[in-house]
Amino acid sequence: MTGLSGAWSAERPRVGAAPAEPAAKMGLGREALPEEIAAWDTDVRPDGRGLPVGRGTVKQGDELFQERCASCHGEFGQGAGRWPVLAGGQGTLRADRPDKTIGSFWPDLSTVYDYIRRAMPYGNARSLTDDEAYALVAFLLNLNDIVKDENFELNDKNFASIKLPNAEAFFDDDRETSEKKFWNKDPCMRNCRELPKVTGKAISVDVTPDGKSGPKVD
């Protein structure tokens, strides 16, 4: 059907099969030093692997949050303007307009710690200490009603025991079974449907940028 196989076809050897002797080392690169790995390897897994020794309380987190985070995320994590909402929305995932926050949607607390320490505050990433990150995560648990006591201390010992409400609601990609009918040997070619009617138009929404003018590119 395509009429363009031969040299261009997909039947060429896969990339992974290309190097003939995988065992032979090239001798390129050099061993990473422990200090270097420690500097870059800051990721944290759901089982707590990667957590640094440290601690922080809800109260400490509240203070920090108001100072470093609230200008974008709001005093209560409700989001200022169009910045992301971090708290609330529990029970809305089946609603017409779900509210996907840490409390309502995120499966793992480790992600909160990893992401804050890696990428926040926006525009000044990697500026928080490990303890500050613990305190902020503790405060976010409090904002999401997962921890009520403002004297609660989150630390590397109790971290992995805390479960988020939506932890069980994720499952691996199942398209090949749940969408099996999209594999169709013989799609319809003639008289496939009733006369179509227009049911929706982008121009009625009218949110497309003006495509005729653009930034100056001279």
CB of 53 to other proteins, least distance (A): 20
Single out the residue of 61, 64, 105, 151 in contact with other proteins (rule: CB under 8 A).
Answer: 105
132 contacts other proteins (rule: CB under 8 A): no
Single out the residue of 35, 53, 151, 215 in contact with other proteins (rule: CB under 8 A).
Answer: 215
13 contacts other proteins (rule: CB under 8 A): no
CB of 103 to other proteins, least distance (A): 12
Single out the residue of 48, 52, 54, 115 in contact with other proteins (rule: CB under 8 A).
Answer: 115
Interface size with other proteins, residues (CB under 8 A): 94
Q: Decide: 74 and 80 in contact? Cβ < 8 Å.
A: yes
Nearest Cα neighbor of 161 from 181, 145, 135, 141 is 141
161 contacts other proteins (rule: CB under 8 A): no
Q: Decide: 118 and 126 in contact? Cβ < 8 Å.
A: yes
Q: Which one, 148 or 201, has the nearer CB to other proteins?
A: 201
Q: Which one, 151 or 199, has the nearer CB to other proteins?
A: 199
Residues 41-100 that bind other proteins (CB under 8 A): 41, 43-47, 81-84, 93-94, 98, 100
Q: Interacting stretch for other proteins, rule CB under 8 A, among 53-61, 130-138, 145-153, 204-212?
A: 204-212
Q: How far, in Å, CA of 22 to CA of 14, rounded?
A: 14
List all residues 6 or more positions away from 135 whose beta carbon is below 8 Å from its beta carbon: 56, 57, 58, 60, 61, 64, 154
CB atoms within 10 A of CB 105: 18
Q: How far, in Å, CA of 212 to CA of 218, rounded?
A: 16
Q: Decide: 99 and 162 in contact? Cβ < 8 Å.
A: no
Residues 180-199 that bind other proteins (CB under 8 A): 182-185, 187-193, 195-199
CA of residue 172 relative to chain centroid, distance: 15
